[in-house]
Structures are given as structure tokens and as C-alpha cells.
Amino acid sequence: MMDRHKFLHLAALLLPVLFLAGWSGALSWRYYNSPTYDVVMAGYDPRDIVYGKYIMFRYDWDHPESQKPEGIKNLPVSGRFYVPEHAAYDLQEMMRNSSGHIFKATITLSGRDSHIKKVTIDTRPWQEALAAWRETQHNQAQ
Amino acid sequence: MSINGKLKKWTEAGLITASQRDAIQNHEREFAGNRLKLGMASAGIFSILLGLSLVVAANWQEIPNSLKFYSHLGINALLAWCIWKWRDDSTKLLHREGALFFLWGLTLTLIALIGQIFQLSGEAYEAIRLWFWLTTPMILLYAKGTYISRLWAIVFVIYVPYDLISTVWDSTADWNIRKATLMGTALLLPLGVWTLGSWPYFAATREAIANTLRRLSVVMALGFASFSSLEFYHSFVFEYSALVPISFAGLAIGLRYYFNLRPDIQSNDKRTIDLICLAGLFVTVPFLTLAESDLWAMLHFISFWALAGALWQEQGHARAVSFAITVISIRLFIGFLEIFGGLMLSGFGFIAIGLVMIGIGLAARRVQKHLRGGAA
């Protein structure tokens, strides 16, 4: 049988791996089982929308197309969404000159934190909408 | 001069014999051979790892999240298994330290990956907090070399006081609690770190990290006491009870006497505790004197470092005494600039400053020379 000293050493070594595996499992469970809400996104400062490889934005809970949950007082005010580096700048431009495009995040809530499951632009996945926007920009330039 | 040139010179001077010279040359040749072999192998492994990283980075968006996560978790688990396997094998000491170093760093990258996969909106300091506390037990129990111990100590010094103070600062607007946290951290954190580093079981089994902890406690104490003199004579908030600094000043004095009365602590260690408690006491001084003055700040700084120098003198730490004198000299010069800085605008000002610099330098050297006689 493992003595106490050996057990402590093993526990200290496995703590980071087991904790992160467990945490990731819990996040995964919440990702698939928690209620989701579609919320309209707005850039809160055009200069700071893209911060590294993130789009930084605020939630427009009062927008008619946002699904505002009932009975939750402290809704998250802002969020960040990871995007590939090559898409970040164009998404910033698209959001800055939105010209009628509606950016929407599908999120789950955990206290004051939000976890973004997906982002759509005009009901299309953001990758598709971005590709179409790039094509339009390219055609206009010609 | 090359080693062969030096050996020739020493042989001619009769310092070493010809056979000793030959033995040294043979040893160096053997070592150089191993060094080349090890160096080439290390460069090869590094090149492979770099190549793999570039392939992964170039295709990052195409790799499914689950594959990224499980691969990373698998590497971390493999490293943990290697450390466990090599834990008592003295021939694998370097391997174990290397694996520990990589597991330590890769735990942070795994946290970042989880944040990316699940689009968590947390801040960078929250990820660092989780990483630091998750990995600290592992580092304390497994690190035997000075390299990881010192790296961990640097992270500790930078991160822990900041996190403790900023967490309380953010969670309450009560200045009594805020000041109590500040003074409590300055006194109790170095003392706690010193106690852990001096725990006989820990010191015997984890010598490198125990030594680092004891040094770290002194560095933190010196940092807190110096910082308080530089910061708290300028930005004052008066909305707190005088009982807070009085309590911590009393606690610093009380703890000093408590540790000094304990027969199991050696006299050299008692002086270190004196220094830590002295630093804790000095942190309370700006809040007791309520002074907003550059002169007070300088007096605070100099008197603390002078007392620290006196304690090191008693312990026989000649280099530390010299360091204290140098720090005091620099502070004196800065104090001179603060008070008479306007003189720098004139030619006479430059002359005066030059004379003061020479004077302080000569005085510091004389004091150091005098004290070194007693400290050596």
C-alpha cells in the first residue's frame, strides 16, 4: 500500500494534469447542456476591437434581435472572441463599418462570465460572411 | 590565454608537474568530446521540436480542438509519468529537472489552450494565478536544481504579493482592510516563506529550493520596506484607523521577540528574523508618521538600510554590508538631487553635484573598508 509521503508526492505531480482535465470536462459539459442565448455584438471602441487575436466587443442586450434571459440581473457587459490572426483585421473593418451587418454571438452564461459557442454575421457563420465581404471589397477595388 | 598556454606557464613556474599537466589535458580532451556529442544531440532535438512546432502552428486552424487538447494533455501526462519514474534515480537528475521545467511551462500553455477552445473571456492574470497555484506543490516537492528553484522564486516575488494585494484592493473599498492587507503581506509573507525554507525536513530533502526560499524572504522584506519609503510618503489616503498600523507595528515587534525566545532557532537565523520583522515594522512607519515629505522618505530608507547593514555586520556578511552602504550612498545622492535638483541648471550646480558624488563615493568606500574589517 502506498504510504502518505509517496501519495502526497504523486498527488502534487498529478494535480495540474487532473485538475485541467476535470475543468475542461466541466466546461465541455456546460458547453453542450447549458441554455444558449443569441446576443447582438457591438464594438465598443473601433481602435480596440481587435486585441491580438481576439475580437473585443460589448453585448447589446437591448437590441430587438437579442435574446435577453429572464430574471438574471448581472448580465455580462463585454466579451472576447478568439479568431485566427489572418481574419482579425478584416473582421475589425467589417464591424467598424458594419453598414447593416448584424454580428451575433451564441453564448452560455456562467455568473457574470459568458462563453461564446459561435459567432454569426447576418445569420451566416462568420467565416462565410467574411469571405463574401472580402469578395465584395475586392470587386469594388477593381 | 588558452588552457594549454596556461598549463605550460604553470609547469615552467613549478606550480604543477608535467604528469599533472598531461592529466589535465587528457581530462579536457575527454570533456570536449562529450561536450560536442551532447551539444550536437541537443541541437538536433531542438531542431526537431522547432520543426514540429512550426508544422503545428502553420496548421493550427485546421487541427480539431479535441485533437489539440488531448495531444497537449497527453504530453503533460507523459512528462508527469517521466518525473515520477525518475524521482529517486540520481543518474537521471538532469532528465527529471528538464521534464519538470517543461511540465511547468506546458501547464500554462494548456490553460491558455482551454481558454481558447472554450472562448473563455478571462484575463491573463487569472490564467497565471491558476497556473502558479496548481504547479507550486509540484515545484516545491520535485525541484532539486537551482535553475527551476530560482525561476519559481522570481515568479513568486513578482506575482504573489501583487495578486494578494490587488485581489483585496478590487474586492473592497474599506481602507482599513486594504492597509491591513498591505502591511500583513509585507510582514507575514516573508516570514512565512522563511519558515517554510527553514523547516528541517524540507531543508534536508529540498536543499536548493529551501535555500532559495530563505533568500527570497529577505529579498521580499527588503523590497517591501524600501518600496514603502518610496511610495507612501507621496500618495496618502488618510481614511483608515491608526489602530491598523499600530497593530502591525506591535505584531512585528511581538514576532521578533517570539522567534528570538525560541531555543530551537540558531542565532544567525534570529538575525534574519530580526531583519524581516524590522522590514515589517518599517512598512508601518509612513502610516504612523502621516508625513508627506521627500526628506522623511529618505530618512526612512537610509535608516532601514543602515539597520539592515548592522544586522548583516553582526552575521558576518561582508558583501551584504557593502551592498547596504552602496544602496545608502545612491539614495543619498538621489535625495540630494530631489532637494537641490534646481542647481543642475547652472554650471555651479554641476560642479557641486560632482563634488557631492566624489564625497559620497569616498565616504562609502571608507565606511565599507572600516566595516569589512569587522565583518570579515
Walking along chain B (376 residues) 10 residues at a time, the average pLDDT comes out as 82 88 84 73 85 80 87 95 90 88 93 86 81 92 84 83 84 85 90 89 82 90 89 69 90 93 88 93 86 82 90 87 89 78 64 74 73 53
Q: Do A20 and B111 touch (CB under 8 A)?
A: yes
| pLDDT exceeds cutoff 70 at A48 | no
Reference B333, options B322, B317, B344, B320; nearest CA is B344
- Cβ proximity of B300 and B282 under 8 Å: yes
Give the pLDDT of residue A46: 47
Which DSSP symbol is given to B293? Answer: -
The whole-angstrom distance between residue B213's C-alpha and the CA centroid of its chain comes to 9
Averaged pLDDT, A90-100: 76
ipTM over 0.95: no
Give the pLDDT of residue B119: 80
Residues of B with CB under 8 A from a CB of A: 60-61, 69, 73, 76-77, 80, 83-84, 87, 103, 107, 110-111, 114, 116-122, 134-135, 137-138, 140-142
Percent over 90 (pLDDT), chain A: 13
pLDDT band at residue A52 using 50, 70 and 90 as cut-offs: low
Nearest-Cα residue of chain A relative to residue B70: A21
Q: Do A12 and B142 touch (CB under 8 A)?
A: yes
Best probe of the A interface among B76, B118, B136, by most A CBs < 10 A, is B118
Here the cell at position A73 is: 440581473
Reference B68, options B132, B127, B116, B128; nearest CA is B116
Best probe of the B interface among A18, A24, A75, A78, by most B CBs < 10 A, is A24
Which residue blocks in B124-206 are alpha helix, DSSP H?
124-142, 146-171, 175-198, 200-205
Residue A40 β-bridge partners: A60, A104
What is the C-alpha to C-alpha distance for residues B349 and A5, in angstroms, rounded to an integer?
67
**C-alpha distance from B12 to closest chain A C-alpha (Å):** 56
Give the pLDDT of residue A98: 63
Chains A, B: CB contacts under 8 A, how many? 74
* Highest mean pLDDT out of A51-60, A89-98, B191-200, B282-291: B191-200
Averaged pLDDT, A124-128: 89
Percent over 70 (pLDDT), chain A: 89
Q: Do B138 and A116 touch (CB under 8 A)?
A: no
- Facing residue for B114 by CB, picked from A24, A76, A78: A24
Higher pLDDT, B108 or A89: B108
Here the cell at position A118 is: 459561435
Task: State which H helix or E strand residue B321 sits in.
Answer: helix B318-340
Give the pLDDT of residue B194: 92
